[in-house]
Structure 1
Amino acid sequence: MTAPDAKEKTSGSVSMVRGVYWASDRQESESHERGFYSSASDEAILGQGRDRILDIAEKHIRRIGHRKTTVADIASDLGTSRASVYRFFPTRAAINSSVCGRIINEVAEIVFAVARMDAPASKRLVDLLNVLHRHSRRRLVEERPIHDLLVAAMNERWATINVHNEQIQTILTALIREGLQAGEFHAEDADDATRGVITAFLPFFHPILVEQRVQEGEDMAAAARAQIRFIMRALDKSDGRSANVDPTSNGA
């Protein structure tokens, strides 16, 4: 879910800014009464509350979608008031963005793990592209409310999506640079090669483009395999067919 004009970062760490926190007034008062309301305990309590509210929000979004999920629904499940939720999440959109961040961070972590595998850069690149395609297609087919959430994030340019795009581009650039240094790939510039790979493969992992192609009845698995072969040839790999481009070949 990246875009060809995403700005490159220089570090390859995979991290995602999670949502803001929540804690009930009761937790706060109890902590004061016990006399251990230190910054460390405060952070732990607030962190637990943040994760709890996002757990509940994600459960509702997966079941009925982000547009139908309300702060009242979340507050009811938490056993608190809407005011308590709004105290730390200024809008429902902030909750949606944080849930989105959780979901795409899972993909980013998998992509990062693939990029760090002990294998030739060419194989890792193929596996990485397969992971991006498979997750996008699976969400469309099996997790439609999550797919719709990501489509909204793309259309509205949420900050979480922008961070994710930059991370994926950074990982791809580092991987292509490794391939160039090892003599597996041939290109004048790793950054230019990365932009070319993203542009060529965008229709196979951008949620909106994937949905369009599926609606048109295209065999996405076969098309993805063909496009990966094209990308590998464009990177001047000796034989694009020697790499396993089957989207089911990698279990990530």
Structure 2
Amino acid sequence: MFRMCTDVTAPDAKAKTNGSASIVRDADWALNRQEPESQERGPYSLASDEAILEEGRDRILDIAEKYIRHIGHRKTTVADIASDLGTSRANVYRFFPTRAAINNSVCARIVEKVTEIAFSIARTDAAASKKLVELLNILHRHSRMTLMEAKPIHELFVAAMNENWATMNAHNQRIRAILEAIIRQGLQTGEFQVEDADHATRGVITAFLPFFHPVLLEQRVQEGEDIAEAAHVQIRFIMRALGKSDWRSAEASEVMISA
């Protein structure tokens, strides 16, 4: 049904995709530019060409994400994307060599939003304990909401984890680095009482993994567990393990997950 609604053979659909097709055509022209011509037109032309290319990539990913959210990444094809854009599959392949590369890039776009939130938490002036609890909550809440409200994206994340996609690995490394920075802050201020920040970070990730790893979280939900309460309990355990026995009376308690 969704595919029929986006059939570009309909006059209205053609009108809607004119802008997208133009963007991709312009970007394709920039890809085909010869180097000597680029040099003659100067550095500002090169910058302009790069902007056109970036806009073309973004438009392709916009359409790809729309399809993935509706029918899932396994059913979305390059032909779907090209048809919606009013261009050819060959033009889409000029930007992304495979459908897997498109899936990878869509995944990167979505998890980047989580990374940005994590960075914003780490940059605040709050106590390390509050930052840590808030970050754990964000990781859990995002995974839980994706599972419950955006199943096709959850399935994309499951594939990314199971198939070891580079973008998901990079995201996990960034989150790990943010967690470690927060724990180091807690050590420096005396909030946390652990010997090594690196080991403590590994311990926190291992302890909380079942509450944000897409596969493990889904298993717990399927088993009928009260996942919000379980996350509360696990955060209490983590904070006590870090030596924050009075965490419930600290600012950190203000950002606990709603039951």
TM range (shorter): 0.7 to 0.9
Which residue, 171, 175, 182 being the options, matches 1:168?
Answer: 175
Deviations 1:54-93 (A, max 9, x none): 0000000001100010000100111100011112211100
Provide the C-alpha distance between the structure 2 equivalents of 1:26 and 1:229, rounded to a whole number of angstroms.
Answer: 52
The structure whose Rg is larger is: 2
Q: Does 1:188 align with 2:198?
A: no
* CA RMSD after TM alignment: 2.2
Higher normalized helix content (fraction of residues): 2
Partner of 2:55: 48
Partner of 1:28: 29
Provide the C-alpha distance between the structure 2 equivalents of 1:26 and 1:166, rounded to a whole number of angstroms.
Answer: 32
Q: Does 1:136 align with 2:143?
A: yes
Q: Deviation of residue 247 (structure 1)?
A: 1.3
In the alignment, structure 2 segments of 5+ residues that lack a partner are 1-22
Provide the C-alpha distance between the structure 1 equivalents of 2:71 and 2:207, rounded to a whole number of angstroms.
Answer: 34
Bigger relative contact order (CA 8 A; separation at least 6): 1
Provide the C-alpha distance between the structure 1 equivalents of 2:121 and 2:26, rounded to a whole number of angstroms.
Answer: 43
> If the length of structure 2 is used for normalisation, what is the TM-score?
0.83
Deviations 1:180-201 (A, max 9, x none): 0000001111000000000000
Give the total of aligned pairs.
Answer: 227
Q: Deviation of residue 116 (structure 1)?
A: 1.4
Identity %: 70
C-alpha contact (below 8 Å) 2:27/2:52 kept by paired residues: no
Provide the C-alpha distance between the structure 1 equivalents of 2:143 and 2:83, rounded to a whole number of angstroms.
Answer: 32
Q: Deviation of residue 241 (structure 1)?
A: 2.5
Partner of 2:113: 106
Partner of 2:89: 82
Matches within 5 A, 1:1-252: 23-24=24-25, 28=29, 38-242=45-249, 243-244=252-253, 246-248=256-258
AA aligned to 1:62 is R
C-alpha contact (below 8 Å) 1:230/1:240 kept by paired residues: no
Deviations 1:79-109 (A, max 9, x none): 1000111122111000000000000000110
Provide the C-alpha distance between the structure 2 equivalents of 1:25 and 1:76, rounded to a whole number of angstroms.
Answer: 17
C-alpha contact (below 8 Å) 1:121/1:184 kept by paired residues: yes
AA aligned to 1:104 is V
> If the length of structure 1 is used for normalisation, what is the TM-score?
0.85
Provide the C-alpha distance between the structure 2 equivalents of 1:98 and 1:26, rounded to a whole number of angstroms.
Answer: 18
1:24 is paired with a residue of what secondary structure?
helix
Deviations 1:10-34 (A, max 9, x none): xxxxxxxxxxxx942686279999x
Deviations 1:143-174 (A, max 9, x none): 00000000000000000011001100100001
